[in-house]
Amino acid sequence: MTLLNNIGALNQAFDQEMELNPRIVIYGEDAGFEGGVFRATKGLQEKYGKKRCFDTPLAEAGIVGSAIGMAIYGLKPVVEIQFSGFVLPAFNEIVAHAARYRNRSHGKYPLSMVIRMPYGGGIRALEHHSESIEALFAHIPGLKVVIPSTPYDTKGLMIAAIRDPDPVIFMEPKRIYRAFKQEVPNEPYTVEIGKAKILQTGTDLTLVAWGAMVREAQKAIDLLNDSNISVELIDLRTISPIDRKAIVTSTKKTGRFLVVHEAVSSFGPGAELISLVTEDAFLSLEAPPSRLTGYDIPVPLPKGEHHFMITPQKIASEIKRLIAY
């Protein structure tokens, strides 16, 4: 076991998979010589050479388009979009080509590639650096959308994404890149894509979160320690496909449901999850299912960002409201 933060877990996953599989290539803007803007790919070019880990021009459509071509011809590209807000020039390549290739070839040709991107707010960044756009990708059939919240899951989910036969959008909450460390197994392992994790069992309310919001949810539960409210906390881990069974089973047990996410509220993942529990756990509900989300505005610039972010106090207050309903 090694004590790693999320950046260290990513780097170890890349290193071990590149050593095992010579078809893996990793690239993006500054991903080679500099090791990425957050240093997730640090040292890989030096160890594996410029043909397997390299820098690209500032051209996201070119990064993703070339990766699609490499995947068709049998390589395993893992590409980095420097910030999630920069992915939009590549959106056509992702939704019109990467996501559809298996269907377009009647299942004959899968397209194994990973598109990585730091996402989310909380670090007082500039415009186009702080969005949470997981819903854009989760809406597209043919894409898997993964968001880890711990170093253990980061390594296991990244290795699972690299080994997956289909395109995976891997969104990394940059707010917690270096926020904490965790013991991570030295050997390669996978965490199943599409499988949520119950972090804490409870009987009064089901609380679902992912990415950086998992830690805020845990802090909110700590604030309620003296209230005798029993919260079941679920880390969704994968936005698409959703672990429907875990969500429904938990909600039927607790009777109350709250989802917390950074993304804007309207048409967000929270709406999908609330629809799910309304359809499949309606007769068990003791309060209307609720969502606590970002506002329907662009993420504010640094001086105003704190007004946008979900805090443990906001989560705890919403939990109390649902319990008292």
Q: pLDDT tens digit string along 56-96?
A: 999 999 999 999 999 999 999 999 999 999 999 999 999 99
The mean pLDDT of the chain is 96
Stretch 265-280: mean pLDDT: 97
Measured at the CA of 226, the angle between CA 220 and CA 230, to 5 degrees, comes to 65
Top pLDDT among 126 and 40 is at: 40
* Residue 119 pLDDT: 96
Q: pLDDT tens digit string along 204-247?
A: 999 999 999 999 999 999 999 999 999 999 999 999 999 999 99
Stretch 11-30: mean pLDDT: 98
* Residue 174 pLDDT: 95
Active site residues: 129
- The model's confidence at residue 304, banded by pLDDT at 50, 70 and 90, is confident
CB contact set of 297 (below 8 Å; sequence gap of 6+): 264, 308
Q: pLDDT tens digit string along 163-181?
A: 999 999 999 999 999 999 9
